[in-house]
Amino acid sequence: MAVVREFTLPDLGEGLTEATIVQWLVEVGEVVAVDQPVVEVETAKAMVEVPCPYGGVVTARYGDEGAEVPVGTPLVTVAVGAAPDDLAEPAPTTGAGSGAANGTATAPEAPAADAAENGSGNVLVGYGTSAAAARRRRIRPADGARPEAGGPQPPTGAETATPAEEAGADRPARAADADSRTVAVISPLVRRMARENDLDLREVTGTGPDGLILRTDVESALRARRERAPQPATAAATAEGTAGATTMAAPGAAAGVAPIPGEERIPLRGMLGAAAEKFSRSRREIPEATCWVDADATELLAARRAMNVPGAPKVSLLALLARITTAALARFPQLNATVDTRTQEIVRLPAVHLGFAAQTDRGLVVPVVRDAQARTVEDLSAEMARLTETARAGGLSLAELTHGTFTLNNYGVFGVDGSTPIINHPEAAMLGVGRITAKPWVHEGELAVRQVVQLSLTFDHRVCDGGTAGGFLRFVADCVERPALLLRGL
């Protein structure tokens, strides 16, 4: 007999709490195999195809394409051990229709097949397909509505009390504990939204798993508060004597702020929201400082031309700068570090995982070259080219976007000379490289036209002082001007 298994959005790693449904890869009633991808989602860092650990017939999908789904929310339900024909039989009770049409299936609680109980053994970042916890029986909805039309619906069992009974029984306890209970919020974006709108989260009822407060809960609470608040009558209504007419705020407008005609509102979600939160956190937590210097890059460009001989793999300028950076970090390891604010300790890291900024159609991303200190210039060039191409195709994995220890930012590609970038939290420093352009320069005692670049170092003043930062940047500039200096460290 078929057993309905519920597959929830797993923790995709790096503390992500939600994802956006980009595309459904299966339909209700479709047969899926164990570990077959069922949905493509966009997290704050990458696009991910999520495989389902159960094999069987899809009986329900939760959420429309474009919807934001919190971790732990149901994605699909799968009837394990069922064939499509099993779900097409008419229901023996009310006229709710078939399970396939409703997007749900009814089955008694029973042990699943071996594949469902033992899991597939494959692992996606943050979760494994091991044995699933037992679920209560699902009751076929009488109205025949599909769950995905109204968002996630928690399963109900025969032993579950009605909402009215639960509310009546729980109301005294909630009232007594309202001031002391812990607010169930994971997302810092939700907390910030509530703080900016003076909303007490203790008064918000969470609709997520275990009462977790979601962004939609806060938005609903703000919308309800606006509706309860008295609104001024419009000028036209006042002139006509209709004092009851009120102005309506535009959807998504902040409380008390009138919408501007023609304005465009862009939700801070996905990669855009994650970047905004990371920039803000970096500014809040890191006491940063910046130093910069001009350098003559004429010899570096000549060295690159000498390396790029016909028939040999091409070496990029960024790869040469990356090799100079790893050599500088070997001399000044204080900058390859992070600050553990929980223990109040500076943590110096043994390996250089070098991030570099890459512009894509989906925004700015920072792919990470693992163990950059152990790579040759040729190897760095090949890996950076691969990561850049993958980033522009939207195919970078979480492992290729996380756990960097230092960032190289080549903003010269935008045609600018200098910048004071925001440190990529929780790293301790970022090296910036401006455009290389012809400028007058004193070379060997004479004025000449040379290829000059501006270098900047933004660093966390907690991990080092200005002497260390200046020494690092001066070493980088010396290697740019005289690349042969790198030979001393080989």
Active-site residue list: 461
Check: CB of residue 366 under 8 Å from CB of residue 356: yes
The span from the CA of 95 to the CA of 383, in Å, is 60
Half-sphere exposure in the Cβ direction for 147 (13 Å, CA) = 26
Region of 323 on the Ramachandran plot (φ > 0 left; ψ -120 to 50 alpha; else beta): alpha
Select from 5, 24, 7 the least CA-distant residue to 67. Answer: 24
398 backbone dihedrals φ, ψ, rounded to 5°: -60, -35
Q: Which residues contact 30 (CB under 8 A, 6 or more apart)?
A: 57, 58
Helices 377-392 and 317-331: angle between axes, nearest 10 degrees = 120
- Say which residues have a Cβ less than 8 Å from residue 19's Cβ, sequence separation at least 6: 9, 12, 41, 42, 43, 48, 68, 69, 71
- Cβ contacts of 148 within 8 Å, gap of 6 or more: 60, 61, 62, 63, 64, 103
Contact 120, 88 (CB under 8 A): no
Distance CA 233, CA 228 (A): 15
Task: Return d(Cα 450, Cα 438) in angstroms, integer.
Answer: 5
Considering only CA atoms, which of 369, 365, 357 is closest in space to residue 403?
369
Strand partners, 295: 453
> First-to-last CA distance in the chain?
68
Q: How far apart are CA 404 and CA 423, in angstroms?
A: 12
